[in-house]
Amino acid sequence: MKKSVRHPMASVVLLSVLALGVVGLAQTDGANTTAPANANARPASVSLFGGGPYPGGYLKYTYTVSREGANRTSTTTTEITPVADGTYTVVSTSSETLPLAMVRTDFYGIPMMRLGIHVAENTSGTIDLSPLSNISSSVIEPGKNYILPDGGRFQAGAVGMIAGVQVVYGTYTHADYTNVEIQLAFAVDLTIRALLPFPAMMEFRYSSAADQPLLTFSLVKLTEYVRRP
């Protein structure tokens, strides 16, 4: 039976995205499907949300976050600068303009719930993005259809550029949730993909009913990337 998600704020969920410990390659079926290629070319550690060992050098990245119903965008920036004594200075900043009623204190950065991501009390009515770990460490071929565990599917699209980074676009859908899809853009270069804490783009789209057009609920997009080894 198909399930219908009422609203992404209450249902689009990232489960185990920080660990993403799923082992193995994507399964395929039929024509125009593929398993990840060039497995030997991947870095030592890559995941959907970065987190690999930092190789050194200077790095700066900025993401912009926009949400349905919000008049202004939010930004979050991290800058990693090597110091002469071999240590590193890491500065993370974020900014958004809110009415007083919405101001909250957080450890740092933009709260995940403000990105349209909500950790539910139970697993019903949720979309698990962890199956994407099956392709996130590998070369993604444009135009290929990746069959993922647990009913997920990633349809890779065209190659493009975001903030000077070459990316491959694609759409993640789940067989049980016909009124939700997630548009993604992964860095083509696996080394860059490992350094970024988020895909170069993640757009949550939903409809209030299966026969209604999809609307963007929130969009997280890379707007600046500077790297000097």
177-195 pLDDT, tens digit each: 778 899 999 999 999 998 9
Instruction: Give the Cα separation of 122 and 2 in Å (integer).
Output: 18
Q: Which residues contact 186 (CB under 8 A, 6 or more apart)?
A: 136, 140, 167, 168, 170, 193, 199, 200
3-class secondary structure, 153: strand
pTM exceeds 0.95, yes or no: no
Q: Which residues pair with 161 in a beta bridge?
A: 166
Q: Could you tell me the pLDDT band of residue 87, with boundaries at 50, 70 and 90?
A: very high
- CA dist list (Å): 153 to 13, 79, 126, 209: 16, 34, 15, 21
- CA dist list (Å): 48 to 127, 147, 153: 15, 16, 15
**pLDDT single digits (tens) 12-52:** 333 323 222 222 222 333 334 444 444 334 443 344 566 66
